[in-house]
Structure 1
Amino acid sequence: MRTVRSLTSALAALAVSAASAVTLTLTSAPPAAALENGLARTPQMGFNNWNATHCGADFNEDMVKGIADLFVSSGLKDAGYQYVNLDDCWAEKDRDANGDYVPNHTRFPNGIKTLADYVHSKGLKFGLYTSAGTLTCAQTMPGSLGHEQQDAKLWASWGVDYLKYDNCNNQGVDAVKRYTAMRDALAATGRPILFSMCEWGENKPWTWAKDVGNSWRTTGDISDSYSSMLSIVHQNMALASYAGPGHWNDPDMLEVGNGGMTDIEYRSHFSLWSVMAAPLLIGSDLRKASAATMKILTNREVIAVDQDPLGVQGAPIGTDGGRDVFVKPLKNGDRAVALFNESDAPQRIGTSATAVGLPAAPGYTVRDLWAHTTRETAGTLAATVPAHGTVLLRVSADRRWALHPPAVDVGVGLPVAYPGALPIVQPGTPVTVTTTATNAGRLPALAVRSGLTAPDGWTVRAASRRSTPALGTDRSFSTSWTVTPPQDAAVGAYDLTARTTYAGASAESTVQATVLKLTTPPSGTTYLSDLPWVRASNGWGPVEKDTSNGEKAAGDGHPITINGAVYKKGLGAHAPSTIEYYAAKQCTSVAADVGVDDEKTTNGSVTFEIWADGTKVADSGLLTTADPAAHLSADVGGASFVRLIVTDGGNGNDSDHADWADARITCT
């Protein structure tokens, strides 16, 4: 987790005076009253600069005005986005003689009220940030602890519509008291100000904050990586019962468009946040947004799921083998159904109309919210979903189901070493790919014909029949293909697209095959940090070789140190993390000393696992910052691939710097 977001104490010189002021303010606060501000009846939508700019020089008045302009010109405003919010670093470090915030003279020379007025002139709303502590997380400006009423009154005079209230430098003051004090201060201004609590889920705000804030963070900060996004989904999806109109679980801002994930992963990110009725706060620099990014952010059919007035957070009804099915009831009786594939290979994911809560009916209509197609089904809801992808459906028991073509889903089967493994092909080496069309419709699919396309330079040849005259309900038709990448194919991910046409409609599915030049590991015992990995993912920053993880750019770590012991060799990771090596069925064992790096003194808690293909062969159990290194070893004989996995211990990934010290593999 970012250092600036995990600070919990102020500079020593401020602590004593701040604590006394806090005690006076909070103990004299009136009894808490229920939050009745009439805001966020659906999850808030807008923009926050932090993920894109942090405290960089380009965070300034011109940028914020430009974002407001883009809201209007790009269609974001029309799609439902309202709030243009400033994060940390908008104020000077010191208050003025009256104890008021002073807008940063360099970033905002014309003041905050002038900027808020500009945002309002565009028909939008304006938000600010501070912390429920003595300093903000970046320590660039004061927090509001002990100044709640004064600050709220000032913000109201500026025209602020939204407050993001963080958790840093809080002097150990009870969270309920800190956040309730600001709730009451905002209410006393008489101005409707949406109250977004950024408490990181440390004190389980979902259990007490319904009457305090309009939303509350349920997790630590998100990073622009699939592993981080997935970890947050796992934490937030269990809290559906606590959300509703005016009070929402907040799994943090959107990373869509920041570049750390693929468009497939960003569509999953946006789909899952919408199904989970999460606030949709854009965290990318809209001035640089690609057409693909804008297409995701402005998908009104997906946004309508998030903004459905019934206000139910979708929840999973199945999570078997990384095949997740989320269901969100909608006000008109429809169901939004997300089929999410957590794994690294395409998987067919299915459920039924009755399983998602719809009444029994002769047929149903199914709207694919990304493909923008409508089909009919006899009841099966299924799709072959690409790795890390999500198919988002809107399903209804519609009497007019027969007006639509039958729902046919198209699957692409690629060879993998174990279930869920990365589909790998080597340059110049042919592989057998299977496409399968399955009809879920009540009506037959007629004149069915299958095709498969690959990148330029690849060869694709059908090895079996490509067409069939008819495909009945719940029947499938498969075609085998021989696919060969060119001998000089560069390492990378390549799209394979299967397309099936049938009378009146078509269906297609795109999956990725990864071209790699796999190298057999050397005989003997070798440090893993001296070998190339097949792939690596990390919660914060990249996996580091022979240093700890520094959370940011490559090479920012320190000597690997666990409970005072220093190691020259190893791998520095940050939960959640996966590092995979090619073992070629020629290796016998993996061993390492594992633990939380000493650069974190509190909060870190992780588990280390070693997997041989699809089987877990070693588990360290929970290790924390207080524990010495544990020796972990495993028999990996016969495995094609070996994976080193770090989990967050089930409590989020704050401070989870995980070291695989002296990690070695022995091969014959």
Structure 2
Amino acid sequence: MGVAAPAASATPTDVAPDAVAAPPGDNLALTPPMGFNNWNSTHCRPEFNEEMVRGIADLFVESGLKDAGYEYVNLDDCWALPERDENGKLVPDPERFPSGLDALGDYIHSKGLKFGIYTSAGTKTCNPAGFPGALGHEVSDAQQFADWGVDYLKYDNCNNQGVDAVERYTAMRDALAATGRDIVYSICEWGQNQPWTWAQDVGHLWRTTGDITDTWDSVMSIFKRNVELAEYAGPGHWNDPDMLEVGNGGMTDTEYRSHFSLWAMMAAPLLIGSDLRVASEETFDILGNTEVIAVDQDPLGRQGTVVSSENGAWVLSKEMADGSRAVALFNESDTAQHVGTTAEAVGLPAADAYEMRDLWEHESYQTAGTISATVPAHGIEVFRVSPDGDWAQYPSAVEVGASAVQSEAGTTAELTTAVTNLGRTPAKSVSVDVAGPEGWTIEAGSATTSPALATDAALTTDWTVEIPPGTPGGSYDLTVTADYRSPRHQPRQDSLTVEAQVLVPPGEGTSYVSDLAFVREANGQGPVERDTNVGSVAAGDGTPITIEGTVFDKGLGTHAPSTVEIYTAGRCDVFSAQVGIDDAAGAGGGPPQRGSVTFEVWADGTRVAATGVLNGTAPAQPLTADVSGASFVELVVTDGGNGKNSDHADWADATVSCTA
């Protein structure tokens, strides 16, 4: 947990990584800590209590998470009463924890696990209720923690009274050391004072960003900041991009796999933030993937680095203790795309071929040096690539790729598939097929078989896809299946799911955009809402669109950064809207600059209209754009260049005027 608070009065001077003091010689956190923290799933709600925490400890053992490496069961804010006792001691909340924290610690330890706790390096913690912080009470509080059997302290940054960050966090380091108990020390000052430059001899891990939320945009923002700090991480001192959101419901399972994998590639602490008592099987599968966990927990302690990033296609490489490389092929974009690199580019020595272990499919392949895949939108592929071992015992890696399909019902679309052999040995008896929904006709216009594909050779096939008349607009799955044989191996089969979008053009006359189908949408907080503003995160939690007191019945509620794409089929000429920041973001009585955005209209990839930066005090502004002849129109909101805080952006009365 952590909310905005006054920064410390002094910011430490940058220090080069090789000049930073050595990590504490306590042999703690030699690999990134793994465990659980309740905050992301419960905050301070009543369900955060002794029963829940004991249940999580039980589940760690019963589910196999303990065996997978998770060991810390940590309490976050709201475990204490608002006031200290007459002796200045912290008092656990007797309603939440009737047995006391020493008994809770004993229970967690009885399971072979470790016990963690939270407080702040300020006079109060971050919760508005104002629970006691440790500033000025470091020695007493540290001793209480030790007496309760605490093994991990998360030390937040709220209400710090402007005291220098290094001074505050060093004081608690010394107090913890004086107890004589081994306690992993997590510095949670949100990266405000660049802790990566000074905290290596103060704590074992340090937050590099503000708090995570259960949204794709939050994960991406934090990833992009934390991944740049690889040089500062290592055994006993870790960059901390905050806890895991896996399983909390705000993202898809594909996005959660990417979130988990990226944290592992960055050698980040893996602290589960979902309530495991109600978690899905898929959540347990993601959190319990021991091959991805092994990347995070590798004893060499390297943080992965960026090999390339272009058009949302990311390649990350992480050096491993056994000489292999963990390689992540990550697709940040909203459509599937090819992501690739080479063994040389990720830092491996030259070799005839390499073993390429798929850490999500749990299968090994051979590659002549190309590491690539067609990765779904917001998806990731993670491989462990090694020049050692008998690579010839594994089948060739084969990449299955396909172009996107977009067309109207009753028309014929074109599709191209490619089956590429990445292996050193030939892929033999190669064939490809495409299947679609019932009633769709898919026919090949070129060869669908090849007797053999040499290294880097591809079987490329053109297809026609007939979409039946009357097919409702929306997304449909096409499945591309490749069959092949590798020498000395049984038949193999790989498949790829391709999204086919059936487009519906606007009708004649003027149509509200909120009544049209979206080709694509991306939103900085929750989904794009139709005819309401964006409320919080859940779909449908908005209220009427209101800009400086004016209420609108129709429109789109978005949150920067946001993109909404619609199909106009070359039949529309004018887009029009009233745009501004919704009153729910604080305009009309809130802080004057709360929320600032720009609105842009793009037609077939060209920006055709835009506002300047609008803030939370501006009334609705008219925005009109000439979109004549465009097949697609995108409505884009940016954060105005100062972050996305309270950027609830409304496209009120958004319409397009079209001909038949």
Give the TM interval when normalised to the shorter protein. 0.7 to 0.9
Could you report, residue by residue, the CA deviation over 1:1-42 in whole angstroms, capped at 9, with x for unpaired residues? Answer: xxx8434279xxxxxxxx9xx99xxxxxxxx99751432211
Contact 1:519 1:582 in 2 (8 A): yes
Residue equivalent to 1:310: 300
Could you report, residue by residue, the CA deviation over 1:72-110 in whole angstroms, capped at 9, with x for unpaired residues? Answer: 111111111111111222222222222222222222111
**TM-score, with structure 2 as normaliser:** 0.86
Contact 1:575 1:606 in 2 (8 A): yes
- The aligned runs of 1:128-527 (5 Å cut-off) are 128-140=117-129, 141-398=131-388, 400-416=390-406, 431-454=413-436, 460-483=442-465, 491=474, 494=477, 496-503=479-486, 504=489, 505-513=491-499, 518-520=504-506, 523-524=509-510
Letter of the 1:49 counterpart = N
Contact 1:539 1:575 in 2 (8 A): yes
- Residue 240 to residue 579, structure 1, CA distance change in 2 (3 Å): same
Contact 2:306 2:315 in 1 (8 A): yes
Secondary structure of 2:383 counterpart: strand
Verify: 1:68 aligned to 2:91, yes or no: no
Across the aligned residues of Structure 1 and Structure 2, the Cα RMSD in angstroms comes to 3.4
Q: Which moved more, 1:86-95 or 1:342-351?
A: 86-95
| Deviation of 1:124 (Å) | 0.7
| Deviation of 1:614 (Å) | 3.7
Verify: 1:581 aligned to 2:534, yes or no: no
Secondary structure of 1:258 counterpart: coil
Contact 2:217 2:525 in 1 (8 A): no
Q: Which moved more, 1:44-53 or 1:545-554?
A: 545-554
Provide the C-alpha distance between the structure 2 equivalents of 1:185 and 1:627, rounded to a whole number of angstroms: 51
Q: Which moved more, 1:623-632 or 1:212-221?
A: 623-632
Residue equivalent to 1:6: 3
- Residue 7 to residue 322, structure 1, CA distance change in 2 (3 Å): closer
Contact 1:274 1:303 in 2 (8 A): yes
Secondary structure of 2:405 counterpart: coil
Provide the C-alpha distance between the structure 2 equivalents of 1:535 and 1:245, rounded to a whole number of angstroms: 42
| Deviation of 1:360 (Å) | 1.7
Provide the C-alpha distance between the structure 1 equivalents of 2:136 and 2:596, rounded to a whole number of angstroms: 33
Could you report, residue by residue, the CA deviation over 1:476-520 in whole angstroms, capped at 9, with x for unpaired residues? Answer: 002344456775668556463533332325252433526556341
Residue equivalent to 1:27: none
Contact 1:277 1:306 in 2 (8 A): yes
| Deviation of 1:648 (Å) | 4.6
Could you report, residue by residue, the CA deviation over 1:23-73 in whole angstroms, capped at 9, with x for unpaired residues? Answer: 9xxxxxxxx997514322111111112222222232221111111111111
| Deviation of 1:461 (Å) | 4.7
Provide the C-alpha distance between the structure 2 equivalents of 1:49 and 1:368, rounded to a whole number of angstroms: 31
| Deviation of 1:475 (Å) | 0.7
| Deviation of 1:237 (Å) | 1.8
Residue equivalent to 2:13: none
Letter of the 1:81 counterpart = Y
| Aligned counterpart for 1:108 among listed residues 86, 91, 97 | 97
Contact 1:594 1:632 in 2 (8 A): no
- Residue 381 to residue 500, structure 1, CA distance change in 2 (3 Å): same
Contact 2:586 2:594 in 1 (8 A): no
Could you report, residue by residue, the CA deviation over 1:566-585 in whole angstroms, capped at 9, with x for unpaired residues? Answer: 67476543333333333333
Contact 1:237 1:315 in 2 (8 A): yes
Provide the C-alpha distance between the structure 2 equivalents of 1:644 and 1:542, rounded to a whole number of angstroms: 14
Residue equivalent to 2:630: 639
- Residue 68 to residue 616, structure 1, CA distance change in 2 (3 Å): farther
| Deviation of 1:142 (Å) | 2.5
Letter of the 2:496 counterpart = T
Letter of the 1:478 counterpart = T
Provide the C-alpha distance between the structure 1 equivalents of 2:544 and 2:238, rounded to a whole number of angstroms: 39
Secondary structure of 1:94 counterpart: coil
Residue equivalent to 1:16: none
- Residue 100 to residue 654, structure 1, CA distance change in 2 (3 Å): farther
Letter of the 2:98 counterpart = P
Provide the C-alpha distance between the structure 1 equivalents of 2:2 and 2:288, rounded to a whole number of angstroms: 29
Residue equivalent to 1:15: none
Contact 1:572 1:660 in 2 (8 A): yes
Letter of the 1:573 counterpart = T
Provide the C-alpha distance between the structure 2 equivalents of 1:547 and 1:183, rounded to a whole number of angstroms: 49
Letter of the 1:285 counterpart = D
Residue equivalent to 1:86: 75
Secondary structure of 1:474 counterpart: coil
Provide the C-alpha distance between the structure 2 equivalents of 1:488 and 1:664, rounded to a whole number of angstroms: 25
Could you report, residue by residue, the CA deviation over 1:240-259 in whole angstroms, capped at 9, with x for unpaired residues? Answer: 22222222222221122222
Contact 2:611 2:623 in 1 (8 A): yes
Provide the C-alpha distance between the structure 1 equivalents of 2:447 and 2:437, rounded to a whole number of angstroms: 22
Letter of the 2:506 counterpart = T
Letter of the 2:423 counterpart = G
Q: How many pairs were matched up?
A: 636
| Deviation of 1:127 (Å) | 1.0
| Deviation of 1:623 (Å) | 6.6
Letter of the 1:252 counterpart = D
Q: Which runs of 5+ in 2 are unaligned?
A: 11-19
| Aligned counterpart for 1:98 among listed residues 87, 96, 111 | 87
| Deviation of 1:327 (Å) | 1.0
Could you report, residue by residue, the CA deviation over 1:594-624 in whole angstroms, capped at 9, with x for unpaired residues? Answer: 5695456368565554433444555667777
Secondary structure of 1:173 counterpart: coil
- Residue 394 to residue 33, structure 1, CA distance change in 2 (3 Å): closer
Provide the C-alpha distance between the structure 2 equivalents of 1:198 and 1:660, rounded to a whole number of angstroms: 37
Letter of the 1:115 counterpart = L
| Deviation of 1:120 (Å) | 0.7
Contact 2:405 2:500 in 1 (8 A): no
Contact 1:219 1:652 in 2 (8 A): no
| Deviation of 1:438 (Å) | 0.3
| Deviation of 1:129 (Å) | 1.8
**TM-score, with structure 1 as normaliser:** 0.85
Contact 1:548 1:558 in 2 (8 A): yes
Residue equivalent to 2:45: 56
Secondary structure of 2:47 counterpart: coil
